[in-house]
């Protein structure tokens, strides 16, 4: 089949999409749809790829693969963070292989063309007289740093609303001072499911009964409104409302914004942010809700700051707490598999074994990730079955629908 024919088929599935229902199966499982997703979404949007503490020192770098691209992110001697394509300007060799490391100059392993940390070509052997090295700098990738969260955009024409998004969320994020934290733990897991199913699963809590550890501290009403609450959730809802009333006072006292901003499918850089109370002791994502790290972040003096949660299209979500931060990024590997990276950050001066214990810090989300991995694999297997027909999103799943609306809009823009 020609590329344009494939596009027509996928375009047909997008065109006939019924609002309020899940997507057609081939949009989740076909390699052609993944190609389209990469083109429409991952090569054009701002993609969350790293946190500043991934590169704590001058000379540190990380590499990240986004579809067919590989990107190098570096911190230079002036502490500036930059991104380049991981492609030599001589004959295109990949430059860096490792996920992270530390370097002075970037030396191509093939014929040793040598670039400085700003991407300038410093040295190339056997060049003819008059060879202009300045024409062969590494190709830059657009990068933004929002309170220590690193985003790249592979397009030369990045979405223009990103800076406005950044200025709206910065008052929420900045008080946690992510750039002053350190990585306590980071794990990559491969989900046996399409990236959209990983994202959809994250956008609702109607499956949260499958997360007993998370529900120790998270109220199981994420995405619910009063009218959605049945007898099963009524006690939790009442507890949530009582906690919220007290919590708003805590936020006000600490000068922390908490009100929800919800623009998941009404803008190019779709996002949702809100600070909400936690259950039990109300301090952190632990089994009894008490702190996972004794050293609070920034200059916080109160542990009960709840969870500042931010959900972003297309590929990320975050929880900022008083004692740690946990970030999640999703990148497609194939139509059937996705990489989920989870990073836990604690205060830079928190001492492992004294102030925090990695197992306690990571337990709830390790369990939750594992449970979600099973849900995603199950969903992927089901939507790949020829008997699958798109089903209805229910009211507490409105953020799943917002994700699909946002996705469909992006694909329509390029078809």
Query: Which chain residues interact with ligand 3BY by CB under 6 A?
Result: 202, 205, 208, 222, 309, 317
CB of 88 to ligand FES, least distance (A): 3
In the three-class reduction of DSSP (H, G, I as helix; E, B as strand; rest coil), residue 209 is classed as helix
Q: What does each C-alpha distance from 238 to 8, 49, 230, 242, 244 come to in angstroms?
A: 50, 38, 12, 6, 10
Q: Which two three-digit tokens encode residue 286?
A: 């632990």
CB of 368 to ligand 3BY, least distance (A): 6
Q: What is the CA radius of gyration of the chain?
A: 22
Cβ atoms 97, 108 nearer than 8 A: no
Give the residues lining the site for ligand FES (CB under 6 A): 88, 90-93, 108, 110-113
Q: Which is nearer to ligand FES, 111 or 207 (CB)?
A: 111
Q: Which is nearer to ligand 3BY, 113 or 172 (CB)?
A: 172
Q: How far apart are CA 260 and CA 273, in angstroms?
A: 6
Q: Which is nearer to ligand FES, 14 or 87 (CB)?
A: 87
CB of 111 to ligand FES, least distance (A): 3
Within 10 Å of residue 325's Cβ, how many Cβ atoms? 25
Answer with the entry of ligand FES, ligand 3BY, none that 66 interacts with (C-beta below 5 to 8 A by kind): none
Answer with the entry of ligand 3BY, ligand FES, none that 111 interacts with (C-beta below 5 to 8 A by kind): ligand FES
Answer with the entry of ligand 3BY, ligand FES, none that 108 interacts with (C-beta below 5 to 8 A by kind): ligand FES
CB of 229 to ligand 3BY, least distance (A): 16
Nearest to 316 by CA among 332, 330, 337: 330
CB of 36 to ligand FES, least distance (A): 31
Q: Which two three-digit tokens encode residue 363?
A: 């337990």
Q: Which is nearer to ligand 3BY, 138 or 205 (CB)?
A: 205
For residue 150, report the phi and psi dihedrals to the nearest 5 degrees. -100, 125
Answer with the entry of ligand 3BY, ligand FES, none that 391 interacts with (C-beta below 5 to 8 A by kind): none
Q: Which is nearer to ligand 3BY, 52 or 372 (CB)?
A: 372
Nearest to 176 by CA among 147, 203, 205, 153: 147
Nearest to 81 by CA among 98, 101, 56, 64: 56
Q: What does each C-alpha distance from 73 to 42, 52, 299 come to in angstroms?
A: 17, 10, 29
CB of 85 to ligand FES, least distance (A): 13
Give Cβ neighbours of residue 134 (< 8 Å, ≥ 6 apart).
120, 121
Report the b/e string of 233-269 with b at 16+ CB within 10 A. Answer: beebbeebeebeeebeebbeebebebeeebbbbeebb
Answer with the entry of ligand 3BY, ligand FES, none that 51 interacts with (C-beta below 5 to 8 A by kind): none
Q: Which is nearer to ligand FES, 58 or 107 (CB)?
A: 107
Answer with the entry of ligand FES, ligand 3BY, none that 317 interacts with (C-beta below 5 to 8 A by kind): ligand 3BY
Q: Which is nearer to ligand 3BY, 109 or 209 (CB)?
A: 209
CB of 403 to ligand 3BY, least distance (A): 12
Answer with the entry of ligand 3BY, ligand FES, none that 266 interacts with (C-beta below 5 to 8 A by kind): none
């Amino acid at each position: 089949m020609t590329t344009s024919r494939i596009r027509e088929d996928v375009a047909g599935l997008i065109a006939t999409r019924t609002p309020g229902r899940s997507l057609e199966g081939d949009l989740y499982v076909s390699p052609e749809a993944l190609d389209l997703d990469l083109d429409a979404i991952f090569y054009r949007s701002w993609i969350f790829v790293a946190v500043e503490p991934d590169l704590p020192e001058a000379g540190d770098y990380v590499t990240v693969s986004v579809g067919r691209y590989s990107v190098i992110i570096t911190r230079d001697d002036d502490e500036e963070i930059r991104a380049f394509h991981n492609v030599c300007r001589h004959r295109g060799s990949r430059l860096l292989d490792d996920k992270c490391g530390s370097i002075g100059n970037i030396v191509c392993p093939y014929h040793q063309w040598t670039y400085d940390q700003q991407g300038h070509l410093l040295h190339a052997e056997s060049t003819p007289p008059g060879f202009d090295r300045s024409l062969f700098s590494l190709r830059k990738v657009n990068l933004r740093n929002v309170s220590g969260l690193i985003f790249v955009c592979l397009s030369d024409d990045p979405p223009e609303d990103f800076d406005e998004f950044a200025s709206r969320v910065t008052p929420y994020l900045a008080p946690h001072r992510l750039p002053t934290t350190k990585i306590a733990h980071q794990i990559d897991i491969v989900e046996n499911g399409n990236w959209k199913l990983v994202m959809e699963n994250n956008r609702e809590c109607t499956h949260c009964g499958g997360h007993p550890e998370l529900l120790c501290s998270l109220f199981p009403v994420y995405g619910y409104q009063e009218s959605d609450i049945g007898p099963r959730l009524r006690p939790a809802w009442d507890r949530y409302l009582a906690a919220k009333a007290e919590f708003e006072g805590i936020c006000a006292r600490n000068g922390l914004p908490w009100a929800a901003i919800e623009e998941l499918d009404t803008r190019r850089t779709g996002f949702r942010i809100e600070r909400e109370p936690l259950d039990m002791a109300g301090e952190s994502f632990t089994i009894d809700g008490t702190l996972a790290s004794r050293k609070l972040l920034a200059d916080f003096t109160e542990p009960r700051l709840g969870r500042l949660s931010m959900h972003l299209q297309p590929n990320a979500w975050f929880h900022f707490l008083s004692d740690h931060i946990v970030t999640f990024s999703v990148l497609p590997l194939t139509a059937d598999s996705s990489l989920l990276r989870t990073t836990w950050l604690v205060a830079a001066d928190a001492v492992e074994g004294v102030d925090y214990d990695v197992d306690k810090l990571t337990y709830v989300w390790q369990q939750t990730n594992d449970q979600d991995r099973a849900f995603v694999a199950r969903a992927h297997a089901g939507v790949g079955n020829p008997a699958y027909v798109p089903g209805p999103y229910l009211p507490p799943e409105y953020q799943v629908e917002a994700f699909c609306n946002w996705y469909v809009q992006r694909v329509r823009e390029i078809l």
